[in-house]
Amino acid sequence: MRLRTRSDATDVLPGHRGTVRVGRRVSNLLPRIRSGDVACVDLVDMDTSTAQALLDAGVSAVLNVQPMISGRYPNRGPQLLVDADVLVVDSLGERALSAIRDGAEVRVHEGAVHAVDKDGALLAEGRQVDGPLVQRLLTSAREGLTSQLDTFTHNASEFLRREQDLLLHGQGVPEIETVIEGRPVVLVVRGRAPPPSWATCVASWPSSVLS
């Protein structure tokens, strides 16, 4: 009679198994995904186009270190995955990106991600996202969006009232000595670095324009 080993025990443990592909950017992850793989991503509020791209790649499960629906707006990506019977787990936390090794076999059960080896170590733990949860989160997001729109409308109206002379009549526009007419103008705002295409565009301008 053959005695059961620890390997045999892990074979009968409940949950979904698959090869995991880890990457922060879904666009970089997609070419490496094979049918049946588990995708581990870093994306708040997954949109429908990203969810569809993952479905087209053949994922069997999607792990997200961020919330699938943060509540900022009612994004439909998670609904698309759930409707396609793809296992979804979110809010795993940043540590999951280093704890879950790319290309490894994992077992996902009730929001927990385990290694498939003799130890079956717990790698990360999050929240399993199913249909009822998605509906609750979307409803809450819709309500929150209404409140945000009300606030935006109030702030915009107040700004127009306060700056109506400048916006409607041009009163208070500062005088400048630089000649702008007929020349490209770059508007610089605080935020993330511009895409490389901006630098290419500016570099193509003649020196007479930039002087």
If pLDDT is split at 50, 70 and 90, which confidence band does 84 have? very high
Task: Give the residue-averaged pLDDT of 95-104.
Answer: 94
What is residue 168's predicted lDDT score, i.e. its pLDDT? 77
pLDDT at 1: 46
List, for residues 18-74, the tens digit of each pLDDT value.
Answer: 999 999 899 999 999 999 999 999 999 999 999 999 999 999 999 999 999 999 889
pLDDT (average), residues 182-187: 78
Q: Is the dihedral of CA 200, 49, 51, 59 positive or negative?
A: negative
What is the average pLDDT across 183-189?
A: 75
- pLDDT band at 120, cuts 50/70/90? confident
Contacts of residues 23-31 at CB distance under 8 Å and 24 or more positions apart, as own/partner, are 23/102, 24/97, 26/50, 26/53, 26/54, 30/54, 30/57
- Regarding pTM above 0.85, the answer is no
**137-178 pLDDT, tens digit each:** 999 988 877 777 777 788 888 888 888 888 777 777 777 788
Closest to 127 measured CA to CA, from 64, 77, 83: 64
Q: Output the pLDDT for position 67.
A: 97
Are the C-beta atoms of residues 88 and 128 closer than 8 Å to each other? yes
Q: What is the mean pLDDT of the chain?
A: 85
Q: What is the pLDDT of residue 159?
A: 81
